Amino acid sequence: MTPPRPRRTVLGLLPRPERQAVAEALRTETVGGPVLLAAAAVALAWANSPWAESCTAVRDFHVGIPALGLDPPASASPSPS
């Protein structure tokens, strides 16, 4: 019987130097743009996939404290005054 393989996370805790390098790279505009484009592409693919129902569930999820009136849906836009 082979011993079980340890579970690995996709982006596990990096050592401090690498973590600082990744954080610094993400702060620059040259990396931020492609990251935003990739996130938009993933969102479009998700919204047009068979899992689109889960996308609308996330869109309609309310975040905040209802007692304080701080529970707008994730897709909320400012209401006209």
pLDDT, position 15: 79
User: Please, which residues have CB within 8 angstroms of residue 39's CB and are 6 or more apart in sequence?
Assistant: none
Q: What's the Cα-to-Cα distance from 80 to each of 5, 20, 59, 64, 77, rounded to whole Å?
A: 56, 42, 21, 21, 9
Is the pLDDT reported for residue 13 higher than 60? yes
The tens digit of pLDDT for each residue in 22-58 reads: 778 777 767 778 888 999 999 999 999 998 888 888 8
> Which residue in 44, 70, 51, 71 sits closest to 60, CA to CA?
71
Confidence of residue 75 (pLDDT cuts 50, 70, 90): low
Mean pLDDT of the residues in the chain: 77
